[in-house]
Amino acid sequence: MSAPETDFAGPIIDAAADVAKAVSARILFAYVNAVHDLAILKSAVKPPTKLILVCRNAEEEVRARQVSVAAMSVPAFDLTRMGQIKMATLIAFSQQLLKAGDVFVFLTGVAGRGIDTLLTMRVGEEFELFQSVGQPQLTEHIRRPVFERVLRLALELAHEGREGKPVGTLFVIGDHREVQKYCLPGRINPFKGYTEKERNILDDSMGDSVKEIAKLDGAFILKGNGVIIAACTTLRPSVATEPLPQGLGSRHAAAAAITATTRSIAISLSESTGDVRVWRRGTMITEIEKAPRVLLDHPVPLAIKKP
């Protein structure tokens, strides 16, 4: 393994361990691809803080097992540093590794170049990451594997596009009977006539079909158990929501409105930027930003915006 390009990974690990102890962090997360010596990291983190390594591929999972540290798998996508943290934290939240109110510490950096970013926060109190304070459990009526599967598909579409072209789409999960009341009739439904088993998002064979259909206009409507009710659907929720951030269009307005009207969660993918957003109760609760090409080739320090 090549030597790290930075010389401050060690001090950052020590600082992270000190911070975790000082704030009684329940978990310290670290991206494996940014840590050159996992044994040093493991020895620095002391109970009751639990160390969880974030792995982007099978090779990294092997490295985690070699040092006997708990691991969590995430998609191997090019995201900003904050995007990496948001994606991993949201997946951890969906897997019940984190819950509202938990304090955690996160270490990451550019792959192969060493740790350069330390973040600590309490779930539910950071405007940019989770706005879920006072809301029900994120996936209370939706199977957690379903939420995670849809999130991963959205991230894959953001990263890969389809046939080399960017794709924008919208997934609405849960409370499908109420959601269907706001779907305009008359559109072609590619999933009509298939059994529920054949159109469940958890079936591995569904991935390519969903990605292909995502090229078409409209939203995917899913039950909380993963069954796809319809695709290419036009939503017309009647509820008015607060003004959206500048630059967000009709797809995001539909996501905000349908989740304000029903007990659903929406995951939107922006065709123009490749950013993935999660919506709940009319509010965007997190945004996972795709890394600009300049960030991939010439990383710059991360600036974390405050509300």
Q: Read off the CATH number of the domain in which 46 is found.
A: 3.40.1380.20
Are 125 and 235 found together in one domain?
Answer: no
* Residue 240 pLDDT grade (very low, low, confident, very high; cuts 50, 70, 90): low
Residues 165 and 124 in one domain: no
CA dihedral sign, ordered 233, 234, 237, 241:
positive
Entry pTM: 0.79
The enclosing domain of 242 has a CATH number of: 3.40.1700.10
Q: Is 146 exposed, middle or buried (0-12, 13-18, 19+ CB in 10 A)?
A: buried
The confidence score (pLDDT) of residue 283 equals: 85
Query: For 74-121, what is each residue's pLDDT tens digit?
Result: 988 878 888 888 889 888 888 888 887 889 999 998 766 788 899 998
Is residue 298 domain-resident? no
- Domain-embedded: residue 303: no
Do 155 and 117 reside in the same domain of the chain?
no
Identify the CA nearest to 172 among candidates 105, 213, 223.
223
Cβ atoms of residues 279 and 103 within 8 Å: no
Question: Is 294 part of any domain?
Answer: no
Residue 301 lies in a domain: no
Asked if residue 68 and residue 46 are part of one domain, the reply reads yes
Preceding omega of 48 cis (within 30 degrees of 0):
yes
180 and 254 share one domain = yes
Q: Which domain holds residue 165?
A: 144-288
Same domain, 172 and 84: no
Q: For residue 34, give the 3-state DSSP assignment.
A: helix
Burial of 20 (0-12, 13-18, 19+ CB in 10 A): buried
In this structure, are 18 and 68 located in the same domain?
A: yes
Q: Count of domains in the chain?
A: 2
Is residue 296 a part of any domain in this protein? no
Tracing tokens 């890969």 back to the chain, one arrives at 160
CA atoms within 13 A on the CB side of 295: 17
The answer to whether residues 185 and 269 belong to one domain is yes
Give the single-character DSSP code of 272: T
SS3 63: helix
> Are 96 and 162 in a shared domain?
no
Q: For residue 227, name the pLDDT band (cuts at 50, 70, 90).
A: very high
Of 81, 102, 130, at which residue does a domain stop? 130
Q: Are 174 and 265 in contact (CB under 8 A)?
A: yes
